[in-house]
Chains A and B, each alone.
Chain A
Amino acid sequence: MKITREDIVHVADLARLDLNEDAIKKFSDQIGMILEYVEKLNQVNTEGVSPTTHAILLTNAFREDEEHQHIDIEDALTNAPEKEDGQFIVPKIVK
């Protein structure tokens, strides 16, 4: 299946990426080639095969619901681009 310019623009929007014209052109070509290559998976008969999302058999890792000391607010905010009164600041959301 051929990937179109519109597909790339749509997916970039879903991924919150702004692409300029050059990037759209380049990604359409390159990602088109990669997805075309990936199509070869359709040659494999996977009827009745269960999917693997984890290579090691794991059971649920339950633990007691106890309070633990993790990092304090001050440390959690050290890397914030903008902060005030122990909170993160973001640009205006509502117009």
Chain B
Amino acid sequence: MKLHELTITQAHKLLKKNEISARELTRATLEHVGSIEGKIGAYITLLEDMAMTQAESADQAIAKGNCHPLTGIPIAVKDLICIKGQKTTCASRILENFISPYDATVIKNLKRAGAVFIGKTNMDEFAMGSSTENSSHKLTHNPWNPDRIPGGSSGGSAAAVGADMCISALGSDTGGSIRQPASHCGVVGMKPTYGRVSRFGLVAFASSLDQIGPITKDVMDCALMMNVISGYDKSDSTSVPEDVPDYTAALKNNIKGMIVGIPVEYHSVKGLDPEVSAAVNSAVKLIESLGAECIEVSLPNTEYVVATYYVIAPSEASSNLARYDGVKYGFRDGEKQNLLDMYCGTRSKGFGPEVQRRIIIGTYCLSSGYYDAYYGKASQVRTLIMEDFKKAFETCDVIFAPVAPTPAFKVGENIDDPLTMYLSDIFTLSANLAGIPGMSVPCGFSSEGMPIGLQVLGPHFAEEKLLNIAYAFEQATDFHKQRPEL
């Protein structure tokens, strides 16, 4: 096996036994990136020099006997998470030259564990999108078929993991932006419970929905990343002071007696591809054969999830993105002679079309006379969506669902049809609205060879249950071991 193909668990074993060095691992990964980046387009910025310096420190730490599971592991970071002294562009022209003045809390934690950051990955501008086509920077191609999108908005991170261009990655998920690209690229992705992971240093999109989470090659690696990034942070007052367990201890490979809920409403979702449906159904059968019991549950407000989300998320975004005014940081339209014209020029030239579209929707929904009808109403329906899940979890431990209604679509296929693009988020949005954890694990391939993901959802802070059942599923299948031909 080549070094860049290793999982965290495999690489850690070799590092600890001194069979490889962190420098060799980092160099091998960077060389592989160099050879296929032109084809995949996963990275906005490569951090070769910093990575080699960090790898050297990791080797010194290992020599002293300090080998944390992430020491010396090359990690890719979505380009909306701040690494001090490095660019954080959000794949937007408005932040194309922005240098992070501090480390995000997740970055601080990973640095303390000795991780190596090899680059910042491509994404939809400000994380708004499901295909990574809304990047001001470049297109990212799906490792399984370059004519197809990698998913989004964490498409660069998912493609990098899927193409072995890093050992693991960080993404962020506001409406499915970790789970959907993970599903499309055949890798594992987790959106933790809202508040489980600090958002300090994550560029805000919709603050009541955003969470950082791992994208990895298998479930064990996901647990290892969760161990390091989770926890209360006084710099993020919405992070939750719950103890962080050792998530690897949750991988018992025993799910006897677990109850899996299957939402009846999900069968009749329009546009659900029969191959996706079949792959999820086989996963249900397999999990039953492993000792879980599967029952039907109901999420009656499923039909209103997309509408609720596409009021709340743009509303929060329009407010969060008001800060980009060309004064304190980022791009400024220097041609304009007075302040108001400078604001308008900066924002119109700095933001791409999807971001402008969402700012306008959000501003409209929050504007005088429309607030109650749109934002107020959506916030009430959000309560009902949360209650649906609460009721469902009274009868089951976790829920199984598709991640996306179809495998990855073709580049350019939906770019001019925002509503169709939004509707494809139906299965992932509700976890963000309800604040519950969700993950995607590989569960099959379409007849055209594109990966399909199984989504596992659970109650607040039930990450251990999700990891346990996902691990049991993974141990009984080999989808996660398959690699694209590059």
Contacts and interface: CB of A to CB of B under 8 A. Distances in A.
A binds B: yes
Interface of A: 3, 7-8, 11-12, 14-19, 23, 27, 30-31, 33-35, 37-44, 46, 49-56, 58, 61, 63, 71, 75-76, 78-82, 88, 90-93, 95
Interface string B302-338: 0110111011000000100010011111111010111
Contact of B380 (A43, A46, A55): A46
A94 B351 CA distance: 27
Contacts of A11: 360, 363-364, 367
Given A40-B307, A52-B386, A55-B434, A18 B348 contact: yes
Counting chain A CB atoms within 10 Å of each CB, the highest count among B101, B308, B378 belongs to B101
A88 to B, nearest CB: 6
A61 B383 CA distance: 23
Contact of A52 (B303, B374, B379): B379
Contacts of B337: 91-92
B339 interface: yes
Given A49-B380, A51-B379, A80-B329, A12 B101 contact: no
Contacts of A78: 99, 101
A41 B378 contact: yes
A56 B195 contact: yes
B432 to A, nearest CB: 8
Interface string B396-437: 000000000000000000000011001000000000011110
B292 interface: no
A79 to B, nearest CB: 3
A37 B357 contact: no
Given A56-B193, A80-B329, A88-B328, A51 B383 contact: yes
A80 B329 CA distance: 5
A91 B336 contact: yes
A16 B307 contact: no
24 contacts: A14-B367, A15-B359, A17-B344, A17-B351, A17-B356, A19-B356, A33-B419, A34-B422, A38-B311, A42-B377, A44-B301, A44-B304, A44-B381, A44-B384, A49-B383, A53-B379, A54-B194, A54-B435, A55-B435, A80-B329, A81-B327, A82-B332, A90-B342, A91-B337
